[in-house]
Structure 1
Amino acid sequence: MTIDAQVVEAQSEIDCPTTISTFDSGYLTEVVESTLKKIYEKLNCRVKFVPVPGRRGIALFNALQVNGEAMRLSKVEQLYTREYVRSHIPLLDLVSSLWVHPDHYSEGNRPIGYTLGIVWQEKYAENKRAKRYRGIDELINAYNRGKISGFLASDITVILAIQTGRVETDLIRKEVIFSAPIYHYLGDEFSPFMKRFSNYLKKNTPFKEIEDLQN
């Protein structure tokens, strides 16, 4: 190994994040986590993902118990109490919607479902007939059993659930709640790595296939 290669390897070892919090459920989480792991490996870094509920990930990051968060909307930045750096470009533009049974209005007074700890879902559910669940698996199970008339989720998550046969009842998108970019976040001390990570995103667009599912 040449001296230059030794320097590059040493820098890589020093600036590598090792622990990243991620949401503890959801098909989008699984796909993004898998893609991030591959990117980290290509950048000569090994990373461990820590699955936790949404708000818990923020707390762990602020307490320096993880090096970063896998994916977040930029609105999370107001909740961070430590210095951070986000990916220079978003991982992808995320579309999130209210998905319901085609006969939603004939479903009586059945509530819609949402995931506890997902801020945008909690805000949307305020003052509505809604029931909270711990994750997308519980939401889908409740929908399949007819306990709820629909639920809030990212479009990618729902599309992947339908494609894999997890959704057993007809389901349509009733209302787009928002479309916004999601970013990868790390502690500010990992700025050199984030620069390398962002350059990789610019050259390779590894999340394009995931994003195209929404179209």
Structure 2
Amino acid sequence: MHFNKKLVDGELYRLSLAEKAYEQTFVRSLVPLFKLTNAIWENSDYNISNKKPLGYVKGIKWHEEYILKHFLDMQNIAQFYSEDKMYEAFNRGAIGGFLSEKQTVKLLMDDGRLSVSPALNSLWKANRSIII
């Protein structure tokens, strides 16, 4: 880690999970730079979103925790090894929805990388955020 080796003076953002690995003293800003909001996104066509599996990325901690906690029937999920592959599957209609952070989805839509505009799942609780 560059921070532990004193190769950098600070970081733009850091997840609190990584702080456990820090050996150097650090100071957290009192004012967050931005807020990450994790969410479930789905195809606005109910026939697709209800019948196709939900995509998630193996290795993204909050994705894995959400799947383990909420999905007893593992046939209703589709595992991917990259976000790009998951978004491609959504564009093809292979999955009915996916887990992703709100700002990421906005950027993908602004860049035209999602051919189908996903809708925020109506059951998703708005209080699921990470402050950075």
Shared fold per TM-score greater than 0.5 = yes
Q: Distance in 1 between matches of 2:85 and 2:111?
A: 16
Corresponding residue number in structure 2 for 1:180: 130
Structure showing greater radius of gyration is 1
Corresponding residue number in structure 2 for 1:141: 88
| Alignment pair present for 1:90 and 2:40 | no
Shift in Å, 1:110 = 1.9
Which structure has more relative contact order (CA 8 Å, sep 6+)? It is: 2
* Residue number among 94, 112, 117 corresponding to 2:59 in the alignment: 117
Aligned length: 121
Which structure's residues are more often helix, by fraction? 1
Shift in Å, 1:90 = 2.5
Gaps of 5+ in 1: 1-59, 183-215
Gaps of 5+ in 2: none
Structure 2 counterpart of 1:172, which letter? A
Check 1:113–1:86 CA distance in 2 against 1; reply closer, same or farther (3 A cut). Answer: farther
**Aligned residues with identical type, % of pairs:** 28
Q: CA RMSD in A?
A: 2.9
Q: Distance in 1 between matches of 2:65 and 2:130?
A: 16
Check 1:160–1:109 CA distance in 2 against 1; reply closer, same or farther (3 A cut). Answer: same
* Residue number among 85, 101, 108 corresponding to 2:43 in the alignment: 101
* Residue number among 94, 105, 114 corresponding to 1:158 in the alignment: 105
Corresponding residue number in structure 2 for 1:132: 79
- Give per-residue Cα distances to partners, 1:80-116, cap 9 Å, x unaligned: 2634525313321111110001124x23542111122
Q: Which runs of 4+ in 1 moved over 3 A?
A: 60-64, 66-73, 81-84
Secondary structure at 1:71 match in 2: coil
* Contact 2:41 2:98 survives alignment (8 Å): yes
